[in-house]
Amino acid sequence: MKNFKTGLALITSVSLLLGACGQEDNKDKVKTETTEKATTESSSDVKEEKEVTTETPEKDSKESSDSVSKNSSDSQEGNRIDTKQLTDDKGKAYELPKDIKSLTGTYAAYVKNEFSNQQKRVEVQINDDGSYTLISVREHTEAYSNPNLYFDKNNQFKKADKKYHVDKIESGVIVNAYGSNVLVPLQTTFSPMNYINESGNLEANHLNGPIETSDVIKLKADYTKINNGKINYSGTLIGKSNELQYADTLKQHLGEMEGVKSQADLMSKSTHEYVSLNDFFQYIDSSDNAKYAALSSDELKKVYTEDNTQVKAKFGYKRVENYEKDVHVYDGDKVYRGEVKDDGAIIVNEVN
């Protein structure tokens, strides 16, 4: 039986107003896709800067689908950056850059990437209070890259045209330093979840790793600067653009984004409500390069626990290759896994 995907961890609940931060280690993490930390160059290291167009390819900005997950516990209040309460590590209050009005807006471009079979998309939103959110996403373009998997709105199993991988998401503030404006991150994660919605698009505001946070502004030698109104991201200048693929993500600060507890807490305490078959699938098996199919209405009536209690299954799916008979089922409250027997009965156990 296939091991259950457990690569989910508790988002750290951040309170910048109270100057406190916390972090819970993900002890149950079994499998997490390796991520590459995107780096930024100091202005002294940038000798040549490549100008890029702000026009984006055919992919349009998407709306959030109905498959966005609901996290019924752990209020996200207090996780938005309040620039009026920020100080640096010496206790000096945050100063809004004088040219913040000209910097306010959204930025987007494909930037230089070290791998020939990938494109890297970077999008940024700078707000008039000096805060910003940045997202970096790698897109695998060659055929041998396993595409992301999902179920569409009709519960048909599909593969996305590309494989998306979120490098990182960060939120912070714009600070005037080193002779120019620079981006100073205060909330950072390198473990976002590659959540593919029912339309086959990446939704980036789902996290499966902790958020690294700071309640003070601290400059570092490795920084991202703004040159003449354009963001210098690792040597590529990113200009303003309204053609965004991740607009919904950019409207939030990282601490506000949706995340989930560890899988054990998520199931045993019913802290997460799966709102569709695809939503369920994304948290369980979506990273595997296998074939799956939704359980039919007749199959959902044949689900029993080992002690012969019928499960009133809401939706579920099965693996349909290599003679595998693995099944995952959700009844609106609990998650079950098991297998399809030769006579068609589905025998499962509650996951806890």
Render pLDDT for 12-44 as a digit per residue (tens, 0 to 9): 333 333 333 333 343 343 333 333 333 333 333
What pLDDT, on the 0 to 100 scale, is given for residue 190?
74
270: left (phi over 0), alpha (psi -120 to 50) or beta: left
Q: With contact defined as beta carbons under 8 Å apart, do 272 and 192 qualify?
A: no
Q: State yes or no: pLDDT of 324 exceeds 50.
A: yes
> Could you give the CA distance from residue 61 to residue 190 in angstroms, rounded to a whole number?
23
> Could you give the CA distance from residue 107 to residue 250 in angstroms, rounded to a whole number?
10
pTM to 2 decimals? Answer: 0.71
Beta strand 206-207 with 258-259: parallel, antiparallel or unpaired?
Answer: parallel
Render pLDDT for 104-142 as a digit per residue (tens, 0 to 9): 999 999 998 777 778 899 999 999 999 999 999 998 866
State the pLDDT confidence band at 144, using cuts at 50, 70 and 90: low
Q: With contact defined as beta carbons under 8 Å apart, do 118 and 151 qualify?
A: no
Q: State yes or no: pLDDT of 8 exceeds 90.
A: no
Q: State yes or no: pLDDT of 267 exceeds 60.
A: no
Q: Give buried/exposed letters for 330-342 (b at 16+ CB in 10 A, else e).
A: bbeeebbbbebee
> What is the mean pLDDT of the segment spanning 77-90?
86
> What is the mean pLDDT of the segment spanning 305-328?
91
Q: State yes or no: pLDDT of 10 exceeds 60.
A: no
* Nearest to 144, CA basis, from 115, 171, 169, 121: 115
Instruction: Pick the more confident residue, 16 or 160.
Output: 160
What pLDDT, on the 0 to 100 scale, is given for residue 162?
82
Neighbouring C-beta atoms of residue 79, cutoff 10 Å: 23
Q: With contact defined as beta carbons under 8 Å apart, do 72 and 273 qualify?
A: yes
Q: What percent of the chain has pLDDT over 90?
A: 53
3-state SS assignment for residue 160: coil
Q: With contact defined as beta carbons under 8 Å apart, do 76 and 89 qualify?
A: no
Burial (0-12, 13-18, 19+ Cβ within 10 Å), 248: middle
* CA 101 vs CA 54, 208, 247, 318, 339: distances in Å: 20, 34, 20, 53, 59
Instruction: Pick the more confident residue, 40 or 212.
Output: 212
Place of tokens 């963001």: 231
> What is the mean pLDDT of the segment spanning 272-292?
87
What residues does 175 pair with on adjacent strands? Answer: 182
Q: How many helices (H) and strands (E) does the chain have?
A: 5, 26
What pLDDT, on the 0 to 100 scale, is given for residue 17?
31
Residue 254: DSSP 8-state: G
Burial (0-12, 13-18, 19+ Cβ within 10 Å), 179: exposed
